[in-house]
Structure 1
Amino acid sequence: MDKEICIAGRVGGACTMPMKGMRSEVAIKVAVRNGISYLASSFFTPPLKVADITEDRAAGELHLMLMSASPGVLDGDDLSIRVEVEAFGRLQLHTQSYQRLFQMKEGAVQAVEVTLGKGACFSWLPHPCVPHERAIFTGRNKIFLSEGSQLIWGEVITCGRKLNGEVFRYSKYHVKTEVFIQGQLAILENVCLRPPVFSVEGVGQMEGYTHQASLLYVGSRGVEVLQAEKCLQALEGVIYGRSEGPAGSLVIRILGNKAEPLYDVLKAMGALLSGSKSVGYAG
């Protein structure tokens, strides 16, 4: 079927008619009352959904989970996620499971926009992304920080389904992330992997590794950054590098061969940098 998917793939029921890729939207607004962050408003359309999973309300930090009734991202999908955290609010946005990018002919797109008020804190460390054979994915992330805002943003990209022999068999993975601090562009990360066009395993690319992770951090913590790096130094079978940017920003890139260790180390570093007991969701 050209540009069509089966409804059964979305909800698990009988396949009664084909449908084109879906346009799904999520809009989240977080406010603060008496020092406690709360979900002021939320809007979402299928197959996406937002759930409040906060366990300790007294801690003042809001934990939300982005859930999906879909098995993954399908051809023609158009996903839009908007997050606003008001001044001094604290939000950790979690994911439910690995994000699978299925076989495609034309591709799927995802746009994420985050706006943080003065002194707000936002953490986003989603589960690893698994691009299947012939997957085509384009992502655009724009993050706007105000004075004193703190950002913890990461991702893990796998080579695909190793056990299925799909190592670097996807067509294209292109994600551009822009971080603006008080209106000025501070970080521009442009990850473009196209295995059919150029060797992603060669020198200057993955260099023999199959998985990569990145962590973007903007904040004022000092000792915690050094402690976070110790997590990396204790991790075997990886290499990493770091770059420092303006306004206390930091970019860390890690190369390895397994998804779970990279995801776990991102969560550990995120917890240290945020001062929270936990970052990410292990479901």
Structure 2
Amino acid sequence: MKNRLTITSGFKNQRSYLKDTFFTPPFRVANISEHRSDPALYLMVMSSSPGMLDGDEYKIDIVVEEGSRLQLHSQSYQRLFNMQKGAVQLQSIQLHPGSSFSYVQHPVVPHENAIFKGRNRIDVSDNCRLTFGEILTCGRKHSGEIFRYSSYHNITEIYHNGKLMIKDNLLLQPSLVNMAAIGQMEGYTHQATLFHLNTHSGIDVDNVNMLYELLGEEKDVAIGISSPSPKVLAVRILGNGGEQLFSCLQRIAAYFWTIEKNALVS
């Protein structure tokens, strides 16, 4: 089944607002903004489906207009069910000048024989801030389905004014590769990836140090933080629990969101 979701975050009278949205089942969009004193927009993407089924195709388009600040939330874990042909998700995100977008998604849980192909295309303009995080689990770990899915292939590309800033090409095929091998998961079962892009002031060295302090108390995880360019920060975390990694990415996203909020106030 082909499913569509579009969201446009506008900016008017010094406030961000939901300018336009369109969705087909199983999608819904809920405004979860709590405080009128906060001019940013907070939305949650909801779904009436338990997960992606064989043959599903999700097409998601998100536009954050000039000056707007949008923080997007997912509702729950995304399950990928048993498949023969596979499921596809295409996600396009556009940030206009002076806008901000933060989105940390719940973990993906691929069931036995699941086949998934995903592509995230993110276009960022000048004076923008982006935080984008995703988490992949090994499957239904507590049901004994550890790396029983067939294939998971997800590509994320982030462009600044048409120039490619970072590309993440994640391909996991447990039936062909030993997931515990060196260079693979090396004994861990879950992985999280987060990208932060700042085309206004760039990445501060203090940000990297603060993230290590922020995650320093975490147990049984492996954390890598790098800055492939002066404007990009990349975080990769390996662990053994979806909730733990989700909490880590949420704290990182909250850290950057608060920094920007304080800068706007001052």
Cα offset, 1:58, TM superposition: 2.3
1:93 alignment partner, one of 72, 81, 89: 72
Tell me if structure 2 keeps the 8 A contact 1:271–1:277. no
For the structure 1 residues 33 and 221, does the alpha-carbon distance in structure 2 shift closer, same or farther, using more than 3 Å as the test? farther
| Distance in 1 separating the partners of 2:193 and 2:105 | 11
What secondary structure is seen at the aligned counterpart in 2 of 1:100?
strand
Compute the TM-score of the two structures, normalised by the length of structure 2: 0.93
Compute the TM-score of the two structures, normalised by the length of structure 1: 0.88
Query: Does 2:80 match 1:80?
Result: no
Query: Does 2:154 match 1:154?
Result: no
Superposition map of 1:1-283 within 5 A: 22-219=1-198, 220=202, 222=204, 223-275=206-258
Instruction: Report the more deviating stretch, 125-134 or 228-237.
Output: 228-237
Instruction: Report the more deviating stretch, 102-111 or 218-227.
Output: 218-227
- Describe the superposition over 1:132-166 as per-residue Cα deviations: whole angstroms up to 9, x where unpaired: 00000110000000001111011111101112110
| Distance in 2 separating the partners of 1:244 and 1:120 | 21
Structure 2, unpaired ranges of 5+: 262-266
Cα offset, 1:225, TM superposition: 4.0
What secondary structure is seen at the aligned counterpart in 1 of 2:51?
coil
| Distance in 2 separating the partners of 1:38 and 1:57 | 12
| Distance in 2 separating the partners of 1:277 and 1:140 | 28
Corresponding letter in the other structure for 2:28: K
What secondary structure is seen at the aligned counterpart in 2 of 1:140?
strand
| Distance in 1 separating the partners of 2:95 and 2:234 | 19
Corresponding letter in the other structure for 2:86: G
Cα offset, 1:246, TM superposition: 2.4
Tell me if structure 2 keeps the 8 A contact 1:36–1:58. no
- Describe the superposition over 1:103-145 as per-residue Cα deviations: whole angstroms up to 9, x where unpaired: 0000000000000011111011011111000000110000000
For the structure 1 residues 126 and 57, does the alpha-carbon distance in structure 2 shift closer, same or farther, using more than 3 Å as the test? same
Structure 1, unpaired ranges of 5+: 1-21, 279-283
| Distance in 1 separating the partners of 2:91 and 2:255 | 25
| Distance in 2 separating the partners of 1:247 and 1:276 | 18
For the structure 1 residues 152 and 101, does the alpha-carbon distance in structure 2 shift closer, same or farther, using more than 3 Å as the test? same
Tell me if structure 1 keeps the 8 A contact 2:208–2:225. no
| Distance in 2 separating the partners of 1:190 and 1:246 | 18
| Distance in 2 separating the partners of 1:67 and 1:206 | 31
| Distance in 2 separating the partners of 1:51 and 1:270 | 20
| Distance in 2 separating the partners of 1:137 and 1:217 | 25
| Distance in 1 separating the partners of 2:154 and 2:249 | 19
What secondary structure is seen at the aligned counterpart in 1 of 2:37?
helix
Tell me the percent identity.
45
What is the aligned-residue RMSD (CA, Å)? 1.5
| Distance in 2 separating the partners of 1:221 and 1:189 | 19
- Describe the superposition over 1:139-194 as per-residue Cα deviations: whole angstroms up to 9, x where unpaired: 00000000011110111111011121100000011100000011100000001110
Tell me if structure 2 keeps the 8 A contact 1:240–1:254. yes
> Counterpart of 1:7?
none
What secondary structure is seen at the aligned counterpart in 2 of 1:58?
coil
| Distance in 1 separating the partners of 2:249 and 2:213 | 12
